Structure 1
Amino acid sequence: MDESTVDALVTRARLLAGDGRRRILGITGAPGAGKSTLAARIVAELGPLATLVPMDGYHLSEAELHRLGRHDRKGAIDTFDAAGFVCLLRRLRAPGPATVYAPEFRRDLEESIAGAIPVPPDVPLVVTEGNYLLVDQGEWAAVRDLVDEAWYVEVDEETRLSRLVARHVAFGRPPREAEHRAYGSDQRNAELIAGTRARADLRIRFAAG
Structure 2
Amino acid sequence: MLTAGDLAGLVPTRGDRFLLGIAGPPGAGKSTLAQRLCHELNRLGRSAVVAPMDGYHLRNDVLRARGALARKGESDTFDADAFVADLRLLRETPVGEPVPWPLFDRAVDEPTEGGVVVRDERVVVVEGNYLLLTDAPGWAPVRGLLDECWYLDAPRQVLTERLLDRHTAGGRTPDEARVKVMDSDLRNADLIAATRSRADRVLIATGRGYALD
4+ residue segments displaced more than 6 Å: none
Secondary structure of 1:114's counterpart equals strand
The number of aligned residues is: 203
CA contact (8 A) 1:22 1:95 kept: no
* Deviation of the 1:208 alpha carbon: 4.1
Q: CA deviation at 1:143?
A: 0.3
Amino acid at match of 2:104: F
Partner of residue 60 from structure 2, selected from 59, 62, 83:
62
Is the CA contact (8 Å cut-off) linking 1:25 and 1:150 kept in structure 2? yes
Q: What per-residue deviation string (whole Å, max 9, x for no partner) do you get for residues 9-38 of structure 1?
A: 11112xx2x211111000010011111110
Letter of the structure 2 residue corresponding to residue 75 of structure 1: G
Counterparts of 1:88-99 in structure 2, within 5 Å, are 88-96=86-94, 98-99=97-98
Among the aligned pairs, what percent are the same residue?
A: 45
Gaps of 5+ in 2: 209-213
Q: Which consecutive residues of structure 1, in runs of 5 or more, have no partner in the other structure? A: none
Alignment check: 8 A CA contact 2:4 2:40 kept: no
46-55 vs 155-164, which moves further: 46-55
Shift of 1:98: 2.2
Whether the aligned pair in 2 keeps the contact of 1:156 and 1:208 (CA below 8 Å) is: no
Question: Partner residue of 2:124?
Answer: 126
Q: Which has the higher helix share?
A: 1
Please give the alpha-carbon distance, in whole angstroms, between the structure 2 residues aligned to 1:207 and 1:116: 31
Deviation at 1:179, TM superposition (A): 1.3
Q: CA deviation at 1:172?
A: 1.2
> 1:20 pairs with 3, 15, 32, which one?
15
What is the TM-score when the length of structure 2 is the normalising length? 0.91
* Matched residue SS, 1:27: strand
Alignment RMSD, CA only? 1.3
Which residue does 1:32 correspond to in 2? 27
What's the counterpart of residue 41 of structure 1? Answer: 36
Q: Which residue of 1 aligns with 2:190?
A: 191
State the one-letter code of the partner of 1:73: R
Classify the secondary structure of the residue corresponding to 2:171.
coil
1:33-182 equivalences in 2 (<5 Å): 33-47=28-42, 49-96=47-94, 98-120=97-119, 122-137=120-135, 138-182=137-181
Shift of the alpha carbon at 1:188?
1.0
CA contact (8 A) 2:5 2:40 kept: no
